Amino acid sequence: MMGNPSIDYLGCRLANNQEKSHVIFEDSFMTCLLDHKPFNDGHLLILPKAHIVEIDEFDTEHILAVMNAAKLMTKAVKTLFVPDGVTFSQNGGMFNELTHFHMHIVPRYQEECFGDFYTQIPEYAEKDDTLAATAQKMCRVIQQICL
């Protein structure tokens, strides 16, 4: 159900900058931030600022904001990391660990099996300084693309 952000949900707190994260882009509808346990460098999440749990709860304005952000983030990932492809993923229902809609954008490379994204769980989170450096690089690329 679409509604006002709530501090009860980690996804709402992340989307509204009430939780530590590495934000790389945002507007009045959504926030893009780096995944704290990335599958590859540049793995990011797009979260609406409104409390939306499932994709079928979106109104037109919010879904367009998410998809426009997905387009921009894909350009940034392709420019910076030169992947062989990009995977979009969104987990709903009992698989939505944030209880808030979030779309993963993951740069992928030819030697990787698609199933690895779902079966390989990173053993540890990226070091904060590594994520901060990646965030800085991505912010610069995004600014260049938006010029």
Cβ contacts of 71 within 8 Å, gap of 6 or more: none
Query: Is residue 3, in this structure, part of any structural domain at all?
Result: no
pLDDT digits (tens, 9 = 90+) for 19-76: 999 999 999 999 999 999 898 999 999 999 999 999 999 999 999 999 999 999 999 9
What span, in angstroms and rounded, lies between the C-alpha atoms of 61 and 127? 35
The total domain count for the chain is: 1
Q: Judge whether 1 lies within some domain.
A: no
In 3D space, the residue among 100, 38, 39, 30 whose CA is nearest the CA of residue 72 turns out to be 30
- 137 inside domain: yes
Which residues span the domain enclosing 131? 10-146
Distance (Å, rounded) from C-alpha 128 to C-alpha 32? Answer: 17
Task: Using the structure block, give the residue that is written with the tokens 């919010």.
Answer: 62
> Is residue 42 one of the residues assigned to a domain?
yes
pTM of the model: 0.89
CATH label of the domain that carries residue 102? 3.30.428.10
Distance from C-alpha of 82 to C-alpha of 73, rounded to nearest angstrom: 13
